[in-house]
Amino acid sequence: MQSVIQHINTEVLNLKKLLNDLMECSDIVRWNYSKIIMSGGDYHWEELNDNGRKIQDQLLNNYNRFTTLIRFLTNDLSSAQQRAMETSAQKVFNLIEQNGFLFRMNKEEQINSAMKAIDQQFNLIATSYEVTDDYCLIIPDSSTLIANSEIDKWKFEEIDRFKIMLLPTVVDELEKAITNNDPVRNKHKNKILEYTKLGNIIDGVKINEHNIIKLVDELQKTEKTLSWLDINNNYDVVIASYFEIVKANPHSQVILITNNPSLREKALSSNVTHIKPPLLPVEIKPVKSTSVDIKPVVEPVNTAPAAIKPKEKVMPPDSKSENKPTKVTVPPNMLNRPPAIGPIVPKVKSKPITDIKLPTTKQKDARSKASKPKR
C-alpha cells in the first residue's frame, strides 16, 4: 500500500516523462545575428506545433498541482529553504512556458536543469513524511459507514491497528440522512452516531482492543487550502481534509476508505491513497434439521431393473397384400453378369476291391448244365 510520498514520487516520474515529450517537440533558434550583444541572450524557443502545445498545457496543469501540494505540505520550512524551492520551481516553469531568451542553443542543458529542480522540491518533503507510526489513520466516507456500521469488526489485509478519523462533513451527512423513511438504513446510521457518545470523541474512543475512533477538527476554509479544490463541494472537502490530516500526522499512513466512483476518481487524480471498504465476515448459523429431513444411515441400494425385450411390431393383416406377387427390381449391372463359379469339389478315388472270389471248377460245370435247355 503506497503512502502519500510514494504517490508524489510517481507524480515526479510522470512530470519528467512529460518534460521529455515536450523537448521532442521543441527547438531553440537564434534570433540575434547582429554584433550587438543582448543581455538576455541571442537564442529563444521556436513556436510549438499543435501536439507540442497539447503536451505543454497538460504539463503546466500537472506541475501547478505538484508545486501547490509541495508548498502546502512544507509551509514550516526555513526562509532559506523556501527561497530555494521558489527558485527551483521558477526554472521548471520557464522551461515549460518557454518564455524569455537563452544564451546557448542547448536543449539538454535546459532539461537537465529542470529535472534537478524537480528532484530538489521532492527531497524537501521526502524525509519529513516518512511513515514510522504503528497506527494507520483511515478516513471513511458516509456511504462506507452506512454499509459497514459494525466498525468494531472492521479488518484489513495490510492494516493491523488503525484509527477511524470521522470528518465533520461525514457526520453532518449521517445526521441529515436519518430523516429518510428507511428504518434499516436509519438503524445503521444511529449505530455509528452512538460511538460518538461513548467518551471524548475528539481525543478518541476505543472501539475494541486495538482500534480507536476519533472526530477530526473542522476544516479551516482559508486561502491555504489546495487551489484546485472547491471547498463548497463535499467530495473536495474530503480530499482537502485528507491532506490536512496528512500534514498534521506526517509519520502516519493515511488512507481514504470509499466505494464511491466519483470520489475514487478524484482521489486518484489528487495522489490520495484510497482503498475499498472492508468486507465483514458473514455469520452462517447451522440449520436445525427435523425428523423428516433425517436420512437413514444406510440408504437402500437401487437395483437396476431387468432388461425387457421390446415387443415385436405386429403388422395388420392384409389379404390383398398376401396374394399380390412381389415385384423384384434387379439392378442393371446384375442382368448380364455370368453365373458365379462355385468352389470345385475335389474328386475322391474309390479303393480297389481286392476280396473278389473266383468260382471253382465244380461251380462252373453246374452253371453250364443248368443253363442248357432240354430237348
Per domain, the residue ranges of the chain are 4-128, 136-275
pLDDT at 375: 45
CA end-to-end distance (rounded Å), the chain: 155
pLDDT of residue 20: 95
Q: Which of 223, 182, 291, 230 is nearest to 72 (CA)?
A: 223
pLDDT at 312: 55
CB 153 within 8 A of CB 195: no
Helix (H, G, I), strand (E, B) or coil at 139: strand
Our CA dihedral for 35, 39, 43, 47, rounded to 10 degrees, sits at -130
- Which DSSP letter does residue 96 get? H
Rounded to an integer, what distance in angstroms lies between the CA atom of residue 172 and that of residue 196? 13
Q: Is 345 helix (H, G, I), strand (E, B) or coil?
A: coil
pLDDT on residue 356: 53
Query: Alpha-carbon distance 250 to 130, whole Å?
Result: 7
What is the CATH architecture assignment of 136-275? 3-Layer(aba) Sandwich (3.40)
Using CA atoms, how far apart are residues 272 and 250, in angstroms rounded to an integer? 14
pLDDT at site 44: 86
Inter-residue contact 156 to 36 (CB < 8 Å)? no
CA–CA gap between residue 154 and residue 166 (Å, rounded): 15
At CB < 8 A and 24+ separation, what contacts does 54-58 make?
A: 55/18, 55/21, 55/22, 55/25, 56/22, 56/96, 56/97, 56/98, 58/18
Residue by residue, pLDDT tens for the chain (375 residues) are 778 898 899 999 999 999 999 999 999 888 777 767 666 677 888 999 999 999 999 999 999 999 999 988 887 778 888 888 899 999 999 999 998 888 788 899 999 999 999 999 999 888 888 888 888 999 999 889 888 888 888 888 888 899 999 998 888 887 776 555 666 666 766 777 777 677 777 778 888 878 888 888 776 655 566 888 888 888 999 999 999 999 999 999 999 999 999 999 999 988 899 999 886 655 555 555 555 555 555 555 555 555 555 555 555 555 444 555 555 565 666 655 555 555 555 555 555 555 555 556 656 565 555 555 554
Q: What is the pLDDT of residue 153?
A: 87
H or E, element range at 29: strand 28-30
Grid look-up 515549460 returns 96
pLDDT value of position 216: 85
Exposed/middle/buried for residue 316 (C-beta within 10 Å: 0-12, 13-18, 19+): exposed
